[in-house]
Structures are given as C-alpha cells and as structure tokens.
Amino acid sequence: MIVPLALAQFIASYAATNMNVAISAIAQDLHTDTAGVQTAITLFTLVMAALMIPGSKLTDIWGRKRCFVLGLVVYGAGGLIAALAPGLVTLIVGYSLLEGVGSALMIPPIYILITVTFADITSRARYFGVVSGAGGLGAAAGPLIGGLVTSWLGWRASFGLQVLVVAAIALLARRITDPGLTGPRPRFDLAGAVLSALGLLFVVLGLLQSRTYGFGASRQDFAIGGTVVISQGSLSPVWIFVAIGAIFLAWFFLHIRSAERKGRDVLLSLRLFRNKVANLGLGTQLVQWLTLQGSFFVISVYLQEVDGYDAIKTGLLLTPATIGILAASAAADRLARRRPQRLLIMAGFLCTAVGMVLLLTLVRANSSFWTFVPGLLLFGIGVGVMLTSSVNVVQSSFPDSDQGEISGLSRSVSNLGSSLGTALVGSALVAVAKPAGVPYATALVMLLVISLIGLLLAVLLPRQAAGSPSGDAGAGPRDQRTEPAASPRNIVR
C-alpha cells in the first residue's frame, strides 16, 4: 500500500515545482504573458494551502481511502483539462483549482494511513521515509523532469504525464487497507473551514507578494483597479495581506473556542496546540520546508542567472541533493531503531547547515560541478533525515482519532514553510543590490541562520520524544504522555 501513497506524494511535489521551467512555453502557446502563467502557479499554491486543513478533516467524515481516491480523481481531471487548455482561464481551472483541490484531498490521507496502519515507531519511520523521499525527489527533480518533457514533447505532455501517473495510482490504491473509522462521524465545520481557508490564503498570498514588493518599503506602487493604494517607498502591501490573514485566523480560533464550549464539532481542536512535542515538531517542519524550498530556489536562480545554465542543466546539478534525500529516507527505519527521533532531527539540521557552509565556501561563479557536490550531498542527507523524523514525531504525538486534524495542520505548516522560503529568498535577492554572487550568498546565509533556529527547536524537544530506538510503541502510555486523555496508540515518550 506504500507504493500508491509515495507516488501520490511524488506527483503533488512535482506539480509544485515543474511549472517554473515551462512558463515561457505556456505563455507563448496560450497567447498570454508570463505574469498570467505565474498567476496560475500562485493560485495553485494558494488553493492547496487554504484547503489542506478542511481536506484533512473530511477524512474523518468520508474515510481516509475514499478521500485519497477522490483526490486522485479530482487531480487527474484537473491535469487532463490543463493538458487540453485552449487558454489561460482553462489552465487556471484545471491546474490551479482542480489540481489544488485534489492535492488538498489526497495528501493528508497519505500520512494518516501510515500512522493508523503501523503502530510501532520504526515501521512508521520506514514508510514515512519512503513517502518523504518521494516528496523530496518530486520537488528536486520537478524542474529537471519538467524541463526535459517540455523540451522534447511540449508543456502539455507534462500534464499528460501527471494524468497517467494518477491513473496508475488509482489502480494501485485498490490494495490500500484502511482500518476504518470508529464512533460517530463528526459534522463538517463549514464556518471554521471558510475562516481557516481565508486566513491561510491571505497569509500565503502576502508572502508570495514579497517577491514583487519586498518586506520593508514597497519597491513599486501597489494598485487595485488602476488606483494606487500604496505608493512606492511606503510600507510593503505584504503586511496588509498578512494582517488580513491574521485577523481571519484569530476569528477562526475564537470560533473554535466558542464552538467547543457549546459541545459542537470543530475543524481543528484547540487541544492540539497544547501538545509541546507536536508544537516543537511542527516548528521544525516549518523550518525544514522553508530551508529546503528556499535553498533549491536560490541555487537554481544562481545557476541560471550567474552561470547561465538552462533548466535541464540546473536540474542535473541538483542531483546530489536528490541522492542525499533518497539515501537518508531509505535508511529512516534503520536510523529510527538505533537513535531517538529528537537526535535524528538535530543531526539533520547540523548536516544541512554544514552543507550550506560548504556551498558558501567552495562555490564561486562558473565553478565546476564538483564544487557543488559535497555541499548539496550533505544538504540532501540532512533534509532526508530530519523530514522523516519530524513527521514521525508530530503524527505519533496523537491517537488515531486525532489523525485527521493533525495531518491537515502538519501539511499546512509545511506548505507555509515552502511559501515562506521562496518568499524570503526572492526578497533577499532583490534587496541586496550588489554584483556577482553576493545576493545569493546573502540569501544562503539567511537560510543557514534559520536552519540553526530549527536546530534550537529540535534541542528543546523532550529527550524521549517519539520513542526510544528500541522501544515498543504499544508501551507509550506507560512512559510519558503530553495530555491526560491520550489513547493507547499514543507513542509520545
């Protein structure tokens, strides 16, 4: 059952990164401009981020396997519409809307099914490693595969490839066994879904706007309907969008508190945020995806702007990082048997930081491929180790009954980290007005500092978080619980 889950994570990660290399080809074919295609990419990110929590909650109502298959169907329909799109609007409907909705439905069940199917920490580590490796491979290889397919067969073939893969996943999904839901099905919290979606939408939209307007003073006029709302040099409109999102999120939490007091079903229970282990694990997840996407972005831009690489050469040069992610993910279960998850997260951050330092030390303009290899390989190994461990810590901090909620929250945090990573890097590259590779080095140093913050969060994790390397998950409640009401499946120690 792991094969279809891993392939689904791969295709979702691939869809988020492969479009960047086909922007010009799509714009020319659809008789639009690059800004229109970039809008479609942005909308895909927004839809997926906004609906991840509601999509996850639906697994408690419709069932995990049913949501996963439904997500595949919606995603596949979107891919087919995008492949046949005669214009930009149709592309947005297929790619941005339907593929975004499909991703929000099929990604949370991936992690829920692994958590509820495998009770012990090492088995979860093994299969989380497979899924995380597939996700890392999709994100890292997206530009390369997308560039090859676009160059040889055209951009429409890239969507056609996604449809074929999704169809194969749907066939394989018949073998997935879902332990099933117990107890009464909760009612869907529509008001909470709308408020959370609007909050996340505006926050992510604001972060994405930083590429154009920056985080400090606005780099250019911000206009709505031809009317300048914020003039150049004033406070960046990024903070207006983020503030609006924060207001909706605050409203969302007030709604949850009120509904819980009245005994109503809510989208996301407030007690999830009282789990120290999970909160720290979510913090490491945010930093990990911020570092991963931000680093891939800055390295890709550097190779294309400074060294003059095309998309295919850029993807090939990132191969050492991909190999590192896959190698670390493949060793996840063996590492989980020998070392605590907390120690693995710390080691991952340290390895990632050392990789960044090597890139800063060895790489210069037009330097050879081999100067990139040590840094990228260590970076990939570090990311592969800590991604798997952080997911394991967060998902294993809650009983089966909470998996629908924590999975959506976990995926939303990861999406937020990815958006924040590219936003911070894009803003730094524009803000540092110096020649040669200085802006890129500045952005990488910024990501290095952020990764050290992630290391600090990992250090703060309880020493026995997520189990000892040789312990039996079933003994969890006898060791340590983060909440009195933990179920027998809780393996936080």
CA distance 96 to 110: 21
Would you say residue 290 lies in a domain? yes
Q: Is residue 224 part of a domain?
A: yes
**10-residue averages of pLDDT along the chain (493 residues):** 90 81 82 80 83 89 91 95 93 93 92 84 81 79 80 88 93 85 81 92 84 80 81 86 94 94 88 89 92 84 77 79 84 81 92 94 83 92 87 85 84 84 76 63 90 94 58 35 37 34
Domain shared by 126 and 225, yes or no: no
User: Which pLDDT does position 471 carry in this prediction?
Assistant: 38
What CATH number does residue 418 fall under? 1.20.1250.20
Tokens representing 453 are: 């913050």
Joined together, the tokens standing for residue 59 give: 């697994």
In a domain, residue 487? The reply is no
Whether 489 is covered by a domain: the verdict is no
Q: 37 in a domain, yes or no?
A: yes
The whole domain housing 78 covers: 2-188+267-479
Say if residue 388 is in the same domain as residue 254.
Answer: no
Distances (CA, A) of 119 to 74, 421, 472: 31, 33, 9
Residue in the structure block whose two tokens are 């692994």: 114
Asked whether 393 and 461 are in contact (CB, 8 A), the reply is: yes
Give the whole-angstrom CA distance, residue 298 versus residue 293.
9
> Could you tell me whether strands 227-230 and 222-224 are parallel, antiparallel, or unpaired per DSSP bridges?
antiparallel
pLDDT of residue 488: 35
CA dist 381 and 466 (Å) reads 21
Of 266, 290, 322, the one marking the end of a domain is 266
Same domain, 157 and 35: yes
Predicted pLDDT of residue 485: 38
pLDDT of 473 reads 36
Task: Point out the domain boundary residue: 202, 233, 266.
Answer: 266
Residues 133 and 229 in one domain: no
Whether residue 261 sits in one domain with residue 272: no
Given 218, 245, 266, which residue is the final one in a domain? 266
pLDDT score at 433: 53
Identify whether residues 125 and 46 lie together within a single domain.
yes
Distance CA 285, CA 292 (A): 10
Is residue 325 located within the same domain as residue 451?
A: yes
53 and 170 together in one domain: yes
As a whole number of angstroms, the distance between CA 18 and CA 448 comes to 25
Number of domains in the chain: 2
User: pTM of the entire structure?
Assistant: 0.81
